[in-house]
Structure 1
Amino acid sequence: MAALCPILVNQPDVARYATCPAQATWSQAIGVLVSKVLVIFLSCATTSATAGVLGKSYWNVWDLYNAILSEYWGPAARAGVFFASAGMILAIIATNAGSNSLPVGADTSGLWPRYINIVRGQVICALLAPICVPWKIIASASSFLTFLGSYTVFLMPTCGIMIVDYWIIRRGNLHVPSLYMKAEGAPYTYYKGWNLRAIAAWVSGVAFTVHGIAGSLDPDSVNQASKNMYKLGFLLSLAMGSLIYYVACLIWPIPVYPRELESQASTGFESMAPLEGFFPGESVDTIRGVVYSVEETEFKQTMGKSAGAEPVSEKYAV
């Protein structure tokens, strides 16, 4: 289950490019559920089979390939290892592009669109990645499994908050112009731009099971109950983050629409979908407070200079 965490949280960064819901559903069903289960099964089967053939089980793929070449050096073995390695290279590139590089680029460009686009965000991700010393993570099977188990504790509360916020609190309704409003009292301004309910829910979800990480590193440092909770960290972190966020929203409700438009709003599930998140009379042209992206700013400045006009310097499109 730990391998699904990044995909569950980051999939909107890729699914937003779909032109219809079907494009996002069938592709994720195959790419996430079928492929993950199949790869996990094949990994277990390969490790078990090599233990019987080579007399030792290998969890690391390149150690397995090296053992095969050491035991069966020949054209067939070398060709098999070559094509298997080529498949691994392709899989690693695709995984990093879809699950690591692209989500970081999309999120950082959303935070600072005036200075960072998706490509620049991906470059920043590549530069910062060595700081995480990934070679130590895969140094042994125990350290790798500890890493896989640990980030579920931090990611699943986020997933739970996203599920509750969209499906229960907002009932699938997003008012698109409100996403660009920074005024006090706007639906997505919260408290000075911070959703304290989500922060409290995330901290609670992490704190509920994070102590179990110590048990995976040093079994004698925590009791058995903590170890058992950590083993269920995927479900417990998800449940705790979801519950705390839901209760917090019941006590301190969050506005789904601007106050002046609440009388026009429907309480039905995804009732804003037919007009794509706009009320009658609204359109993309009525949105205020849009920060220019890097490409838009450079394009406008280039066009302004070529026409003899002043370069675009305003911060917001008004």
Structure 2
Amino acid sequence: MGALAPVLINQPDIARYGHSYGDVTWSQGFGILTSKVLVMFLSTATTAAATQVLGQSYWNVWDLYDAILDQYWTAGARAGIVFASFGMMLAVLVTNAGSNSLPVGADLTGIFPRWLTIVRGQVLCAILAPLLVPWKIIASATAFLTFLGSYTVFLMPICACMIVDYWLVRKGNLHVPSLYTTASESPYSYCKGWNMRMLAAWTAGVAFTVHGVAGSLDADSVAEASKNMYKLGFLLSLFMGGLVYYSLCLIWPVKMVPRGAGGELGFEALAANEGFFDDENVGTITGVREGEEVHGTQHGAADSKGFVC
């Protein structure tokens, strides 16, 4: 579950490259779950098989490769390790680009849009990554599993708020023009840009289970109940964060649409117009710049709100 947590949170950063609804539903839902579960199964099966053949369990794939070459220094074994190593290199590059570099770049761009782009954010991520001393994280299975477990504690409250906000609070309605303005009447401006409900929900979800992290490092540092809560950290932090966020939204209602726009909205009522109201003078969003041609026709000028029609 710890390995799945970052992918669940970073999904919108990857989904932004989809061209249709189908590109980001079945493909991601099936691909992410299957690939993660398959990787975990293959890792466990490989370690178990290697234990029978080599007489020792290797959780780190590089140690496993070394052990294979130590005992089977043959042309076939050496060639196999070469191809396997290239596969691991490709996997590391793709994982860091999709799960780490790209989401960091997208988040930093959202925070500092005046100075950063997604590419600049990715470069900054690569520069700062060594400061996290990742070689210590993968030094042992215990340290690595503790690191993955802490992911769930800190990330799942965010996932819960995303789920509750879309499905229960906003009922699947996002007003697209309001996403691209800093005006105070925007339903996404919150408190000077800070969603205090979500900050409170995240804090509650983390505080509910974070004490168990110490128990995974030092078994005698916390009570047994705390360690058991940490083992269920994925579910407990998810439900606590979602419960607090939904409760706060009931007490402190979220603004759904801009002031004076629309009325009560049904589930995904704005989806048919791609996030616009019927009376708004905007066309389909294509991502094409003003003046460029779309299928042989020139794109129109921007309307009074700054959106290209």
TM-score, structure 2 normalization: 0.89
Q: Which residue of 2 aligns with 1:105?
A: 105
| Residue 286 of structure 2 corresponds to residue 282 of structure 1 | no
Paired AA for residue 157 in structure 1:
P
The answer to whether residue 157 in structure 2 is matched with residue 165 in structure 1 is: no
**Aligned ranges 1:84-103 → 2 under 5 Å:** 84-103=84-103
Kindly provide the amino acid, as one letter, of the partner of residue 224 in structure 2. Answer: Q
How many matched pairs? 287
What displacement does 1:117 show? Answer: 1.1
Q: What secondary structure sits across from 1:103 in the alignment?
A: helix
Equivalent runs, 1:39-188 vs 2, <5 Å: 39-188=39-188
Q: Could you tell me which residue of structure 1 aligns to residue 269 of structure 2?
A: 271
What are the Cα deviations for residues 271-298 of structure 1, in whole angstroms up to 9, with x where unaligned?
Answer: 001111111232559xxxxxxxxxx9xx
Deviation at 1:194, TM superposition (A): 1.2
**Cα drift, residue 317 of structure 1:** 6.8
Query: Which residue is equivalent to 2:229?
Result: 229
Query: What's the offset of the Cα at 1:111?
Result: 2.1
Per-residue CA deviations over 1:164-200 (Å, capped at 9, x if unaligned) read 0011100010111222333334311111221111100
CA distance in 2, matches of 1:80, 1:119: 35
Q: 1: distance between equivalents of 2:168 and 2:237?
A: 18
Q: Secondary structure at the match of 2:3?
A: helix
Residue 109 of structure 1 deviates from its aligned partner by 1.6
- Percentage of identical aligned residues: 66
Q: How far, CA to CA, are the matches of 2:69 and 2:281 in structure 1?
A: 63
Runs of 4+ in 1 over 3 A off after TM superposition: none
SS of residue paired to 1:33: helix
Question: Which secondary structure state, in structure 1, belongs to the residue aligned with residue 260 of structure 2?
Answer: helix
Amino acid at match of 1:123: V
Q: In structure 1, how many angstroms separate the alpha carbons of the residues matched to 2:116 and 2:32?
A: 29
Q: Which amino acid is 1:44 matched to?
A: T
Q: Which runs of 5+ in 1 are unaligned?
A: 286-295, 297-315
Aligned equivalents of 1:124 and 1:12: distance in 2? 21
Larger CA deviation: 112-121 vs 36-45: 112-121
State the AA in 2 paired with 1:170. R
Structure 2 gaps of 5+ residues are 284-288, 290-304
Counterpart secondary structure, 2:59: coil
Pick the structure with more helix per residue: 1
Per-residue deviation, 1:115: 1.8
1:113 CA displacement: 2.3
Which structure would you say has the larger RCO, counting Cα contacts within 8 Å and 6 or more residues apart? 1
Q: What's the TM-score, normalizing by structure 1? A: 0.87
Find out whether 1:27 has 2:27 as its counterpart: yes
C-alpha displacement of 1:13: 0.5
Counterpart secondary structure, 1:2: coil
Write the letter of the residue equivalent to 2:63: D
- Aligned-partner residue type, residue 81 of structure 2: V
1:131 and 1:33 mapped to 2: Cα distance?
Answer: 31
* Structure 1 position 41, deviation (Å): 0.8
